[in-house]
Structure 1
Amino acid sequence: MTQSSPVSKLNIVVVGAGLGGIAAAISCALAGHSVTVLESAKELAEIGAGLQITPNGSRLLKQWQLPQSLWDAAAIPTVITVHRYSGPVLAREEKFDKNILAKYGSPVADLHRVDLQRALYQRAIELGVTFHLGERVLSLETSKPRPVVCTQSGHQFSGDLVVAADGLWSKCREEFLHAKTSPLPTGDLAYRIVLTLDDIKSEKLREWVKNPEVHIWIGPGAHAVGYSLRAGQMYNIVLLVPDTLPQGVAKDEGNIEEMQALFNDWDPILTSFLKEVKSVEKWKLMHRQEMDHWVSEQSNLVFLGDACHPMLPYLAQGANSALEDGAVLGALLGEIKSKAQLPYALERYESLRKSRGEAIVRETFLQRRDFHLPNGPEQEKRDQIFLSQLGKEIKGAFPSRWTCPEVQPWIYGYDATKEVEESCANEPFPPA
């Protein structure tokens, strides 16, 4: 994808240098616009855990020509397995990597968040994007045609458009809605664990890490996901369990013994990995109510990612959807011939993205329900659906949306660039 030169070059201010913010910056820069990114952190964090980038996201990373080093640092899972919490296999897809590539033309790539953020940042810099770190938003003025972002350091940043990509605790959202609200707890929290090969003594476990697969263990009120990172040199585990954090506490240091006790009767493979953990953090999983609109009345502020549709991690779509948002926004802004067409581009962005983003949010809650069923008749019925298709081509609705033939295609098969091309071909923007 080469950089284009629109007739009318916009000055765009992106608030937030997370994955969605930098993705939007890249996409808008490729569309020929001038982009400035504001980030509250004083440096881009060298911390984080794993991400599963599914084909709807990985095809964008390829289109944006991210460096080969990113793909060298990926782990491409060859198999995906769903286990009953105690270990027995409920579902297993062999040749998962080959099947995904054949269906969607782009892989599932398991990446360390740091590697992806670094690669996006490097590409954005190559495209001329300017970054200002340590700039926390204080206020946002959008009542006039040219919006102004004021930061706590006393600086002001003005442009033709502000892109709010500042996450779950979005200050831009607060300013837009004229209300200070907190995210809503879901009742779950996540323990996030990353182990290196050096952390792992057991040769059997080391072989698990070196041969990338995805394993999901589902049990009463909880589930766990494990997969390799960095070409089989690291292992990422996410434990999704009932929330025990106090109200108002979003993140805290986890107690290892407490964490291990929650999984005492689970698969010995999983508990063996947990015995290698030296420290862990637990994160309260939260969500937000849907917003009525993602675009301001003045057509000078637009939202993307967790700032408007925060996603629970049950389908690994938070990062992928943020990448999609950035891609669609930039591609639409590449279609405008004058600044007078900006409102049409933003209206089209909301119409293309809002329903999909919110549908995926709802699907994550359905996946949580199906993975967390308490022992009993519903769980037995679910497991029978799993086992009746074990080793066969899956037909119809399936409890794991990762391989469900009704859900997987509309999530993984989405092509953000193609959607914009088809939309603009079918319904061009009105003349400026």
Structure 2
Amino acid sequence: MSDNALDVVIVGGGLGGLAAAISCAIAGHRICVLEASRELAEIGAGLQITPNAARLLEAWGLGPDIEAMGAEPTKLTVHRYRDGRILAQESDFDKNMRRKYGAPFVDMHRADLQQLLYKKARSLGIKVRLGSRVSQIERNTFRPQVLLESGERVSAHLVVGADGLWSRCRESMLGRADKPMPTGDLAYRIILEIGQIGDPELREWIANPEVHFWIGPRAHAVGYSMRGGTMYNIVLLCPDNLPSNISRSKGSVDEMMELFSGWDPILTRFLKHVDSVEKWKLMHREEVESWTNPQKNFVLIGDSCHAMLPYLAQGANSSLEDGAVLGRLLSHVQSRAQLPWAITLYESLRKSRSESIVRETFRQRHDFHLEDGELQQQRDDLFLSQLGKPVDCAFPSRWTCPKVQPWLYGYDSNIVADEAVHAHPYRDEQEELVMKEFRPEEQVPSLLQVSAN
């Protein structure tokens, strides 16, 4: 390891924290991950790895693993909620993703991906300290310090806050308490094993991976296969009825069935196999002015700074992008004096994109959750006008929209970082004043909304 290597402490051993650890280690720096849990176990169920993140996993040598442990959907279909009528469909979805973006779209269990990242991190010599709960970050120092609840202090050249939605690092950055805010929605998350399903038609749905959406008034559902077509993940998204002080609770199967009574019989047949379920309040964060401290030696990534609704499946993918861009920029850092330059570039590149994606998830929720009526009919007419042919207009489903899909899936973190370094190379300390003015505006391409945002 180079004598110019930085000491980097990453708070949080989730997907974003491990991605940052891997990318920064590949860049030649010394990495320590502090994880509060005593064992590394992701809470959650399925997630969708889109090409913008899959290409990163491939670059880290994990491509064969994610393909073996995941499932590539061959179709993506949007259904009318009540009768299952197909409103939109992209066939050969798996082939199209690889052809257009050079990387796959893979549905996986979240725990599988976390274990892959953890093993990769350990193979790179990254120190992962479990049971290390952080109380605060001393951020206004030349060498920031992480204070653990045990009383221990850990110092570093750079501290990366990757501690998720309920982030202590974010509160340390802001200097105040800052709780997530409810969105008004909650999620029922369900996993079914093919072995527990006797219905031949449902077994065929699981064994032949596809993505299915059912969209309805103030709610929608998504289902997809995982683990090579042996497991099915269903997420039901609907209005939040949890108490304000409860973010996660055991749910009632009867209540869930009542909420989705009268929906497509295929969906409700799946739901009849559910024995127990949990409800998750969907939360979000206000945008903050900066993701870094003035000294540029403390930075936020992932849900700590841009928590995302699941409606575009970009929460995990965007966190992986954060980690990759950070590490790639740090590969160009040859001394501690260059760190503020790299962190300024990181914030400039990632903040605008991530916050644009957050805003787009709210637009997707709006267009999927229209109440039955005139606006819903206009949306469905637009869907049906494109059925069976290549979509050639701004589309209510961003998953196959020719404007939004390339913006999301075509993003290459390494190329973006390298181009930024080329356009704004480090020169000397005075150059940092110029760098502060570098704020590229990355906005989602303008969309012709079916309804007002």
Normalising by the residue count of structure 1, what TM-score does the alignment of the two structures yield? Answer: 0.98
Of the three residues 343, 359, 370, the one matched with 1:346 is 343
Residue 189 of structure 1: CA displacement? 0.0
Moved more, 171-180 or 115-124: 171-180
Residue 336 of structure 1: CA displacement? 1.1
The residue matched to 1:232 in structure 2 has which SS? Answer: coil
Q: What does residue range 81-230 of structure 1 map to in structure 2 within 5 Å? A: 81-86=77-82, 87-230=84-227
Match in the other structure for 1:369 = 366
Contact 2:14–2:42, Cα closer than 8 Å, also in 1: no
Q: What does residue range 19-418 of structure 1 map to in structure 2 within 5 Å? A: 19-45=15-41, 47-66=43-62, 68-86=64-82, 87-418=84-415
Gaps of 5+ in 1: none
Q: CA RMSD in A?
A: 1.1
Moved over 6 A (4+): none
333 and 6 in structure 1: CA distance in 2 versus 1, 3 angstrom threshold: farther
Contact 1:12–1:36, Cα closer than 8 Å, also in 2: yes
Letter in 1 for 2:221: A
Counterparts of 2:175 and 2:39, CA distance in 1: 29
Counterparts of 1:56 and 1:7, CA distance in 2: 33
Residue 46 of structure 1: CA displacement? 5.9
Counterparts of 2:310 and 2:19, CA distance in 1: 19
Residue 200 of structure 1: CA displacement? 1.2
Residue 45 of structure 1: CA displacement? 1.1
Residue 213 of structure 1: CA displacement? 0.1
Residue 47 of structure 1: CA displacement? 4.8
The residue matched to 1:231 in structure 2 has which SS? Answer: coil
Counterparts of 2:169 and 2:335, CA distance in 1: 26
Counterparts of 2:345 and 2:409, CA distance in 1: 22
The residue matched to 1:394 in structure 2 has which SS? Answer: coil
Q: Confirm or deny that 1:426 pairs with 2:410.
A: no
Normalising by the residue count of structure 2, what TM-score does the alignment of the two structures yield? Answer: 0.93
Residue-pair matches, total: 428
Contact 2:223–2:232, Cα closer than 8 Å, also in 1: yes
Match in the other structure for 2:448 = none
Gaps of 5+ in 2: 430-453
Contact 1:245–1:284, Cα closer than 8 Å, also in 2: yes
Counterparts of 1:421 and 1:174, CA distance in 2: 31
Contact 2:32–2:128, Cα closer than 8 Å, also in 1: yes
Identical aligned pairs, as a percentage? 59
The residue matched to 1:325 in structure 2 has which SS? Answer: helix
CA displacement, residues 97-118 of structure 1 (integer Å, 9 cap, x when unaligned): 1111110000100010011000
Letter in 2 for 1:77: P
Letter in 2 for 1:40: A
